[in-house]
Amino acid sequence: MGIDAYMLWEGKDEEFGRGFGFSVTSGDKGYLREAYHGSPYAIPVLLKECYENESEEESVAIPASVLRSRLPEVIKIVIERENLVYGRVVDENDAVVKAFVDFVELAEKKEKDGISVTYYVSY
């Protein structure tokens, strides 16, 4: 079990396929994953509006600029989590950290291309 975060847009299934097999490195595909192995968790910080949403069944829109502004804190959390929970010393170049950067960069690209995206978190 864990936290799964999805970036959604029209035509996504055709573009990227459906599943990512709980990958922790698929941010470039619009998917993030954190297993319930212990805190801290970065997804609730990055996609906080998904947790504030009255209806857990609906996706929410968050501007890419908001995600970008949260990214420094999120990166620190991911690095701390890898160390505390998994005993791994990582930096910004690690694939798990890069997944969050890739996720935000994809959001920025979609927004720049005029494609509306929303976010959904399952937890």
**Strand stretches in the chain, DSSP E:** 2-8, 31-35, 118-122
Where do the domains of the chain lie?
2-122
User: CA–CA separation, 64 vs 102, rounded Å?
Assistant: 12
Looking at residue 19, its pLDDT comes to 62
Task: Give the sheet arrangement for strand 2-8, strand by strand.
Answer: 31-35, 2-8, 118-122
Query: pLDDT digit string (tens) for 37-52?
Result: 999 999 999 999 999 9
Looking at residue 5, its pLDDT comes to 93
Looking at residue 12, its pLDDT comes to 77
Query: pLDDT digit string (tens) for 82-97?
Result: 999 999 999 999 999 9
Report, as ranges of residue numbers, the positions in the chain whose pLDDT lies below 70. Answer: 13-21, 56
Looking at residue 74, its pLDDT comes to 98
